[in-house]
Amino acid sequence: MNVALFVTCLNDALFPRSGQAAVTLLRRLGVDVDFPSAQSCCGQMHWNTGYRSETLRLARRFVDVFADYEAIVIPSASCGGMPAEAYATAAEAAGDMGLVRAVRELVPRVHELTTYLTDVLGAEDVGAYFPHRVTYHPTCHSLRAAPVGHRPYRLLCAVAGIDLAELPAQQECCGFGGTFSVKNAAVSGAMCADKARHVVETGASVLAAVDNSCLMNIGGRLDRDGHPVHTMHLVEILARTWEDGPVPELPLAAGAVAR
């Protein structure tokens, strides 16, 4: 199958291990995944800050790079929602009807990673092994912009050895919000502090989510406060197998069995 990974600019530069995990996992599930190197950024930061002409240019770029793929898989709910959420609106506002058509044609083939796994590949148990205590934060975009519903939980529940702890007040925003985190840093920081406190309350050694942007926010706070909780994109958990064994630097979950 002719499948492209849109890794996202943030993952490319700051969280390459999430992109690598996505490649590992997709290959394991029989997907021949390609990384067209002309890709860059979905334009979300520009869009959310009001810069529509820049978004439009990045939308054109996205359509050019990915038009010929059968599926485009994105390890981020927030970037994954951009083509459907913004591109047509931006193109329409600019009167570029050709782009509107191209976007409409492309959008059904753009998938957030967990949705691709469950809905397109029909997978739930992806053969993962992760014998650690994990809590999951449903990011706002995964709840509302590219709603992935219970898919991440279904995928996580099927992971062998995992000890899943429910995150209190999980539906509340972590305070990232892109440029919000610097424009209104005090409020953002206060929201993040509460989120980090809830994470610590779970006793988990790993905080997982489908957006590294939010994990960077919460992780930045956990790190500042000296809490040894690791943040991991969900795909990094799904990519690990029995052969990999436990993650050496993480404590084993209570009752975990090593083979």
Partner 1 sequence: MSRTFVGWPAFPRAAAAATQDMQLRSNVTRATGTIRGKRAKLVTERPDWEDLRDSAAALKDEVLAHLDRYLLQAEEQVTAAGGTVHWARDAAEANRIVTELVRATGEREIVKVKSMLTEEIGLDNALEAAGISARETDLAAAIVQLGDDLPSHVVVPALHRNRGEIRDVFVREMGRHGRPAPQGLTDEPAQLAEAARLHLREKFLKAKVAVSGANFLVAETGTVVVVESEGNGRMCLTLADTLISVVGLEKAVPTWRDLEVFLQLLARNATGERMAPYTTTFTGVTPGDGPQRFHLVLVDNGRTRALADRVGRQALRCIRCGACMNICPVYERTGGHAYGSVYPGPIGAILNPLLKGPDDPQTASLPYASSLCGACNEVCPVRIRFTDVLLKLRHEVAEGDAKVKHPVEKAALDAVGAVMEHPAAWNAAVRAAGRVGPLMPRKRLPGPLRGWTDTRNVPEIPKESFRTWWKRTDGGTK
Q: Tell me how far, at minimum, the Cβ of 255 lies from partner 1, in Å.
A: 32
Q: Tell me how far, at minimum, the Cβ of 155 lies from partner 1, in Å.
A: 22
**Please, which residue, 13 or 254, has the CB nearer to partner 1?**
13
Q: Which residue has the tokens 């990011």?
A: 139
**Please, which residue, 92 or 119, has the CB nearer to partner 1?**
92
Tell me the C-alpha distance between 221 and 218, whole Å. Answer: 5
- Under the rule (CB under 8 A), what is the footprint of partner 1? 7, 9, 11-17, 19-20, 23-24, 27, 33-35, 37-38, 40-41, 43, 45-54, 57-58, 61, 140, 143-145, 171-173, 175-193, 216-217, 219-221, 223-224
Q: Tell me how far, at minimum, the Cβ of 192 lies from partner 1, in Å.
A: 7
**Please, which residue, 147 or 251, has the CB nearer to partner 1?**
147
DSSP 157-187: HTSBT-EEEPPTTTTS--S-TTTHHHHTHHH
Tell me the C-alpha distance between 143 and 215, whole Å. Answer: 15
Phi, psi (degrees; rounded to nearest 5) at 4: -110, 145
Tell me the C-alpha distance between 80 and 211, whole Å. Answer: 10
Q: Tell me how far, at minimum, the Cβ of 217 lies from partner 1, in Å.
A: 7
**Please, which residue, 100 or 216, has the CB nearer to partner 1?**
216
CB 199 within 8 Å of CB 218: yes
**Please, which residue, 119 or 223, has the CB nearer to partner 1?**
223
**Please, which residue, 7 or 253, has the CB nearer to partner 1?**
7
Q: Which two tokens stand for residue 82?
A: 């951009």
Residue/partner pairs of 152-155 with CB below 8 Å, 24 or more apart: 152/114, 152/208, 152/210, 152/234, 154/118, 154/124, 155/114, 155/117, 155/118, 155/123, 155/124, 155/126, 155/234, 155/238
**Please, which residue, 2 or 171, has the CB nearer to partner 1?**
171
Q: Tell me how far, at minimum, the Cβ of 15 lies from partner 1, in Å.
A: 8
Q: Which residue has the tokens 């489908």?
A: 210
Tell me the C-alpha distance between 88 and 101, whole Å. Answer: 8
